[in-house]
Structure 1
Amino acid sequence: MRLRHKPWAKEKLMNHPEFVVLDPENYKGKWHELFGNDNPIHIEIGSGKGRFINEMAKAHPDVNYIGIEAYTSVIVSALEYALEAEPTNLRLLNVNAQKLLDYFAEGEVDRIYLNFSDPWPKNRHEKRRLTYKSYLEMYEKVLVKGGELHFKTDNQGLFEYSLISFSHYGLKLNYVSLDLHNSDFEGNIMTEYEEKFSQKGHRIYRCEVQFS
């Protein structure tokens, strides 16, 4: 995916601290204080333009949502979405998920969402996949005991790889759909990619796994 450079994006992010947390390392272990409540914390890694995380925040006001996106020119769209929707239970982080442990304490997160992550199809790039074991180790540390990981993709290869990775790591498979949009699953909120791919006839895969 080729990103369109938006030279104004960084300044816009800095001008909206009500949604964009510019110093997330200072809130490690203190996210409940920032939100001002003890509601569960759900994070999305790779939030893209923010449709999913914003709509989830609107649909579930009793959950605190944190969207993580490394690309400034992309996450600014998530901010613009938030400025219209004005969810009080949403924050955005313009950081790389590889440093997740710098921003969250052990057991601070209740659920993690991975939606349409880069498949990194070449074998030599396996360690970059967000369902690779080193990432699962990070997720396990920041999640509460029994915390869940919800994963969606249109890439069959990545989905099959991820199921094997989850199994090898010892995760419990709570839900799996090989064709989400033709299943009985209720309450699905689509991402921008999901809508685009499903309109092209791509099958959408989804699973929920749980750490012990």
Structure 2
Amino acid sequence: MRLRHKPWADDFLAENDQVVVQYPFDYKSKWQEAFQRKQPLHVEIGSGKGQFIAGMGKQHPDINFIGIERVKSVIVGAVKKVLDAGPENVRMVNENARDLRDMFAENEVDHLYLNFSDPWPKTRHEKRRLTYHTFLEQYKDILKPGGVITLKTDNKKLFEYSLISFSKFGMEVEEVELDLHQSGDPWNVETEYEEKFAAKGQPIYRCRVTFV
């Protein structure tokens, strides 16, 4: 689906700097300064339209959340959702997360979320998958010891690939859900994609993993 250009996006993001971090690379090693309180730091890579990050911020006021979304015409919707939901513990970043080590210091992050990431199904695009080993190396560097990665997807092949990738990297799988919505997790915050696919009866896969 082609994304519609929003000529007002730059002004909107600049005007809402209480939520949007304008110079995120300057915050490396000092992200707690971007928030009102020093709390555990959770990061979502690819926040889309923001339903998850806004909902998590509201549900968990004792955690600081950062949502990273590279597409400007998409992140404006996420910022609106955060503003409407009202949590003061959510910040949004409009950047491409090619190397998170440029943005976060070693052991700075407590939890990473990979929600409905692009599966890049063709073999020649394997290196672009967010669970490819070069990305896992980044995650290991920025996560604190015992830090967690939570992956949610509707794509069974990506899920299976990711579990193998985690295992090869020597990670410990703490949880595997093959049909998340049947498990009845009362704390699950849905993304827009998740709502759409679950309504069609598509199983939602989730796992939580840590570095050993």
TM-score with structure 2 length normalisation?
0.97
Match of 2:121 in 1: 121
Quote the residue 1:83 is aligned against: 83
Quote how far apart the aligned CAs of 1:36 are.
Answer: 3.5
Matched to 2:210, the amino acid is Q
Query: How far apart are the structure 2 equivalents of 1:82 and 1:38?
Result: 20
Q: Distance in 1 between matches of 2:99 and 2:10?
A: 20
The answer to whether 1:208 aligns with 2:204 is no
Cα separation, 2, equivalents of 1:210 and 1:111: 9
Q: Deviations over 1:144-188 (max 9, x none)?
A: 011000000000010000000000001100000111111143311
* Paired residue type of 2:192: E
- 2:173 aligned residue: 173
Aligned residues: 212
Q: Could you give the per-residue CA deviations for residues 66-114 of structure 1, whole angstroms, max 9, x where no partner exists?
A: 0000000001001111121221101000001113111110000000000
Measured on the aligned residues, the alpha-carbon RMSD in Å equals 0.9
- Report the AA paired with residue 154 of structure 1: D
Indicate the percent of aligned positions where both proteins have the same amino acid.
58
User: 1:149-188, aligned counterparts within 5 Å?
Assistant: 149-188=149-188
TM-score calculated relative to the size of structure 1: 0.97
| Letter of the structure 2 residue corresponding to residue 3 of structure 1 | L
Aligned residues of 2:131 and 2:162 also touching (Cα < 8 A): yes
Residue 132 (structure 1) aligned with residue 127 (structure 2): no
Partner of 2:15: 15
Query: 2 CA distance for matches of 1:2 and 1:114?
Result: 23
**Partner of residue 145, structure 1:** 145
- Residue 27 of structure 1 corresponds to 27
The whole-number CA distance in structure 2 between the counterparts of 1:54 and 1:83 is 8
Q: What is aligned with 1:94?
A: 94
| Aligned counterparts of 1:193 and 1:111: Cα–Cα separation in 2 | 21
Contact 2:36 2:89 in 1 (8 A): no
Moved over 2 A (4+): none
